[in-house]
Chains A and B, each alone.
Chain A
Amino acid sequence: MVKFVKISRQAVEHVALLARLELSEQEIGTYTEQLNTILDYAAILEKLDTSEVQPTAHAVPLHNVLREDEVRVSMPQEKVLQNAPDAENGFFRVPKIV
């Protein structure tokens, strides 16, 4: 049985960076503890014998849900841009990227 690796503070900082979350020192501590609690709970599943079970790709037992290659009407431009924080001339406008 595999034992879950404990989530470290560094792991929380890393995930926060990837998710663009700014966390205080105190929050990093809180989330490290909470994430470990969640993983410990999920570790109960490790008690099951899955050696004969195929990996699950999807929770719903369906496959090949496909549509025909047909063009449908898109949204008007003003609706596409309706929720844009900033737009100009039909484009979304975004701050400096790199």
Chain B
Amino acid sequence: MAWSDTYEMVCGVETHVELATKSKIFCGCTTEFGGEQNTHVCAVCSGLPGVLPVLNKEVVNLAIKAGLALNGEIAEFSKFDRKNYYYPDLPKNYQTSQYDLPICKNGWLEITVDGAKKRIGITRAHMEEDAGKLVHSGETITSSDESYVDYNRTGVPLLEIVSEPDLRSIAEVVAYLEQLVQILDYTQVSDCRLEQGSVRFDINVSLRPKGTSDLGTRTETKNLNSFASVRHCMEYETERQAEVLDAGDKVVQETRTWDEGKGITISLRSKEEAHDYRYFPEPDLVPLVIERSWVEEIRRTLPELPTERRMRYESLGLSEYDAGVLTSSRALADFFDEALSRYADAKILTNWVMGEFLRLLKANQQSVLDSPISPVQLAELLELIDKGSISGKIAKGVLEDMYATGKDAALIIKEKGLGQISDEAALAEIVEQVIAAHPQSVEDYRAGKERAIGFLVGQIMKATKGQANPSLVNKLLKEKLS
């Protein structure tokens, strides 16, 4: 029996997003990923005494932009607070964050699971600084005798987005995260490179007997950075909690960590009272007063968001599935739109983008942004098919050459002599030769065996190395055989 027969899951997610600024939140150190350890560090972000942080204006701009895209209320008055705790990745022994006056509150986004739409509340979004990175001597933090600290990431601006506990299934959680990351990608608030840790998820989950409304005791699993690990972690953690409850025991409220290698969550429980953060207003930073004109200025820069774009594509006659794939990243949707501005048949374009184009990207392990084929070049190829210059079949090979060389379709067709034979006189001659060489098939066809014509077409295509215009071949054959 599955646990979901007995229990209902209640889940909320905290998402940490690295904002796409050039410099850190309170100092001029670069936010660039990587770099030799402890080389993107200064007196401010390493927390030396006597330094003063100064807030990066772009962090506020991006936080407002994300807040608006998530349908949130932007605060008129906002401030920073110190969150106090000891951990080696935090050089100041406190994190500069926001407590009671976050920049954004009361947002929401809409997810679709199994065709059903559901609105997921976003309690708040606040600005804070990222911590440093720990490298452990052992395989995991609990099995390590010592750890190594790199403070390059310390002070990189984060937006922490806290959802309401509105999520009731793993499918809903994944749909929420996918939708959230899409919005952050479309608004270019973050580079959304999950594999580099620029978006990280903390999953709060509890179970309660079906039909009851009191919340069960939850656990929090921190720092997941892919949709797949969220899914696996939640499958494990819900199963684990169900076993604890089935045995009549109580779930312990605690922080856990996901061990990807072993596929289990591990308790990070400590005897010390880790969750007493003693927030107080940050005396080194003055508050923010956010005029409505500032908010409106940013609202005007909001792009078309994924939901709006999906609806526009569906109105062009694309299926819900196709519209979903095309809008899965802003880069792909932008590629499609640019090609569409040149080549108006949305359905044919969709087939090529979702078929051959994505296949080539996948085979070469590249993203749309790395594509050697521009949207205009793809549109030109499709125009050449429509004009009858090449067949669809030949065009697939041309697209592969375009991918490999970056050349235009017309040039490749010319260089390789791939142009379709649409010259009626030239084709007629070949058609006659084929008819003369296969009297049996001609006889079969005249005797009513329609299929025999397929063989003759095949022979003509073979003789022309596939370059004969197929509709012209059919027309000529029928004329000559009738």
Contacts and interface: CB of A to CB of B under 8 A. Distances in A.
Interface of A: 14, 17-18, 20, 57-60, 62-77, 80-81, 88-98
B286 A70 contact: no
Contacts of B148: 88-89, 91-94
Interface in B26-45: 27-30, 36-43
28 contacts: A18-B272, A18-B276, A57-B77, A58-B286, A59-B283, A63-B288, A65-B55, A66-B56, A66-B57, A67-B28, A67-B55, A67-B56, A68-B56, A68-B57, A68-B58, A69-B56, A70-B22, A70-B23, A71-B23, A74-B29, A74-B40, A81-B38, A89-B148, A91-B135, A92-B38, A93-B146, A94-B148, A98-B142
Contacts of B135: 91
B149 A91 contact: yes
A74 B87 CA distance: 23
B283 A90 contact: no
Contacts of B208: none
Contacts of B57: 66-69
B38 A80 contact: yes
B197 interface: no
A94 to B, nearest CB: 4
Interface of B: 21-23, 27-30, 36-43, 46, 54-60, 77, 79, 84, 86-88, 101, 134-135, 141-142, 144-151, 268, 270, 272-273, 276, 278, 281, 283, 285-289
Contacts of B46: 75, 80
Contact of A63 (B43, B151, B286): B286
Q: Top 7 A-B pairs ranked by shortest CB distance?
A: A72-B28, A91-B148, A69-B58, A66-B57, A92-B149, A94-B88, A90-B37
Given A58-B283, A72-B29, A91 B289 contact: no
Contacts of B270: 98
A20 B42 contact: no
A63 B285 CA distance: 9
B42 A74 contact: yes
Nearest to B136: A97
B39 A77 contact: yes
Contacts of A91: 37-38, 135, 148-150
Secondary structure class of chain A's binding surface, majority of residues:
loop
A98 B55 contact: no
Contacts of A64: 286, 288-289
A89 B55 CA distance: 32
A17 B271 CA distance: 10
B286 A96 contact: no
A58 B79 contact: yes
B54 A65 contact: yes
Given A93-B149, A98-B270, 9 more contacts: A58-B283, A58-B285, A69-B57, A74-B30, A75-B42, A76-B39, A89-B148, A94-B146, A98-B268
B408 to A, nearest CB: 39
A92 B151 CA distance: 9
A97 to B, nearest CB: 6
Contacts of A18: 84, 272-273, 276, 278
Nearest to B31: A71
Nearest to B290: A64
B39 A74 contact: yes
Contact of B28 (A71, A76, A80): A71
B150 to A, nearest CB: 6
B28 A70 contact: yes
Contacts of B41: 74-75, 80
